[in-house]
Amino acid sequence: MFKTTQLICCLALFFLFSNPIIAQDSIPTNNKIPDQPEKSKPTLKIGGALRFNYNLSSWKKEQVKRGGDFGLDVFRINAKASFEKLDFQAEYRFYPKSSGGGFLKEGYVTYNFNDSTNLSVGLVQNPFGNTTYNSHNWFFNLPYYVGFEDKFSMGLNFHQRRNRWVYNVAFFKNAMELDFGDQTATDPSRYSYDVAGRNKEVNQGNLKTEYLLSQNKRIGISGMLGGVYNISTGRMGARWAAAVHTDLNYGKLNVKLQSMYYQYNLSDSAQHKDVIEMAAYGATYGVARKAYLHTASFAYTQPVKLGPVTSLTFYENYSYMDKTQARFDDTQMNVLGCMLSAGRLTTYVDLASGKNQPWLGPDWQNGLSSGEPDSQWHSRFNINFGYYF
């Protein structure tokens, strides 16, 4: 396992020698101070969203009898600021108490070396797979539920584009930490799914490379290597993941394809080595310590004039989790739906179905780990609408 100090030093040297050094003979010799450009003024923009949710779940018999439930999804505040070469972005979310309450989704400062190179530090999105999202629907795809879609961690991300190549090199010290105790477990009140319970994510490195086939077509590969610290034993385990992915646009059609594999090697007692505990939205569940995940997402956007509605995006998103451990049953997920755009109002209408999917069925704790051999498909009809300001 790499050492944190060594990696930080290597990154510092890379940034130092990748920037031009001003030669001594470039300094004016006529003692006249050259005209200085007017400094840019700081900018600040505050925004957010208020979203509500209606859902009707087939496995919740009492809910079905009363025709579903309608209530608060989230209220969020976004802040963006910039000054000269520095940018700042943050998003704080307020969920119902049952979904973890309030917590920071993302928050980081970016230094722009130039138009094609920047460095972000803070609670930063992990450069892995199709980003920002590997899906089109409100529910995301299966990689999100095991920490590999729209995931944010504490660290830094170096981004650079050279002609048709895009590179991301990142280091993350750990998941978002809310309690700096000595043997404190990861708090489940968070947006990203992170390792929790008896283990903690530490010292993670990410490398992502994409090639632009055209302005709106790209293919790429991603890799991740990191540590897993076990609180009970005080020993360090390891984890790694790799993915190939494409994000392609053909006129009004968008296609996102991704195949990945992940594996955890835990320094835990024997009875706990097959399952890793993960947490988000105020709750934890078990996840198979190794698996393949394959996703295929298609979306077609049609401009319309239906009152305030200006476009309809129809999508079909499917994901499959192939668990390689003996006696573990696989997980599947499918979302068929439509997004309606009407100015600042956005609405998702989804029919989400799952088999051994904790959010789409009755087996919360074991759905993504051992699963149930006789598990059936369950469905949730969901309407989420929100006003973005």
pLDDT, tens digit, for every residue of 221-261? 999 999 999 999 999 999 999 999 999 999 999 999 999 99
In a domain, 221, yes or no: yes
| Interatomic CA distance for residues 252 and 216, integer angstroms | 11
CATH number, residue 293: 2.40.160.10
Containing 245, the helix (H) or strand (E) segment is strand 236-250
**How many Å separate Cα 22 from the centre of its chain?**
39
- Rounded to a whole number of angstroms, the CA Rg of the chain reads 23
Per the structure block, which two tokens stand in for 82? 């910039």
Q: How many domains, in total, are found in the chain?
A: 1
In a domain, 337, yes or no: yes
pLDDT for 354 beyond 80 = yes
pLDDT at 222: 98
| 122-152: burial string, b at 16+ Cβ within 10 Å, e else | bbbbbbbbbbebbbbbbbbbbbbbbbbbbbb
In a domain, 378, yes or no: yes
pLDDT for 129 beyond 70 = yes
Model confidence pLDDT, tens digit, residues 30-85: 334 444 444 579 999 999 999 999 999 999 999 999 999 999 999 999 999 999 99
> Domain containing 199: what range?
43-388
In a domain, 2, yes or no: no
Average pLDDT on 143-147 reads: 98
Contact 334, 359 (CB under 8 A): no
pLDDT for 191 beyond 60 = yes
- Residue 156 pLDDT level (bands cut at 50, 70, 90): very high
pLDDT at 328: 96
| Interatomic CA distance for residues 104 and 190, integer angstroms | 7
pLDDT at 268: 86
pLDDT at 269: 78
pLDDT for 18 beyond 70 = no
In a domain, 7, yes or no: no
Model confidence pLDDT, tens digit, residues 304-322: 999 999 999 999 999 999 9
pLDDT for 334 beyond 90 = yes
Amino acid found at 172: F
Looking from the CA of 271 toward its CB, the CA atoms found within 13 Å total: 0
| Interatomic CA distance for residues 123 and 285, integer angstroms | 23
Amino acid found at 235: R
Q: For CA atoms 349, 353, 357, 360, give the dihedral sign.
A: positive
Residue for token digits 């990191």?
A: 226
Is cis: bond before 132, omega within 30 of 0? Answer: yes
Smallest CA-to-CA distance from 380 within 6, 27, 54, 21 is with 54
Contact 199, 237 (CB under 8 A): yes
Question: What are the backbone dihedrals phi and psi of residue 92, each rounded to the nearest 5 degrees, phi first?
Answer: -115, 135
pLDDT for 300 beyond 50 = yes
CB atoms within 10 A of CB 230: 18
Average pLDDT on 319-339 reads: 96
pLDDT at 39: 54
| Interatomic CA distance for residues 283 and 95, integer angstroms | 13
- For the ranges 16-20, 218-222, 337-341, 381-385, which has the lowest average pLDDT? 16-20
pLDDT at 273: 84
- β 194-195/253-265 pair status: unpaired
Please, which residues have CB within 8 angstroms of residue 338's CB and are 6 or more apart in sequence? 312, 313, 314, 315, 348, 349
Smallest CA-to-CA distance from 194 within 202, 205, 184, 182 is with 202
In a domain, 5, yes or no: no
Smallest CA-to-CA distance from 375 within 356, 348, 353, 358 is with 356
pLDDT at 4: 43
pLDDT at 277: 97
**Averaged confidence pLDDT in the chain:** 91
List of E strands, 84-198: 86-94, 102-114, 117-125, 152-162, 165-174, 194-195
| Interatomic CA distance for residues 43 and 49, integer angstroms | 20
Beta bridge partners of 114: 117
Please, which residues have CB within 8 angstroms of residue 280's CB and are 6 or more apart in sequence? 100, 188, 190, 191, 192, 193, 194
- For the ranges 11-20, 100-109, 247-256, which has the lowest average pLDDT? 11-20
Containing 61, the helix (H) or strand (E) segment is helix 61-65
Average pLDDT on 146-163 reads: 98
Model confidence pLDDT, tens digit, residues 268-296: 877 678 999 999 999 999 999 999 999 99
If one compares 14 and 342, the residue with the highest pLDDT of the two is: 342
In a domain, 29, yes or no: no
In a domain, 372, yes or no: yes
- Residue 2 pLDDT level (bands cut at 50, 70, 90): very low
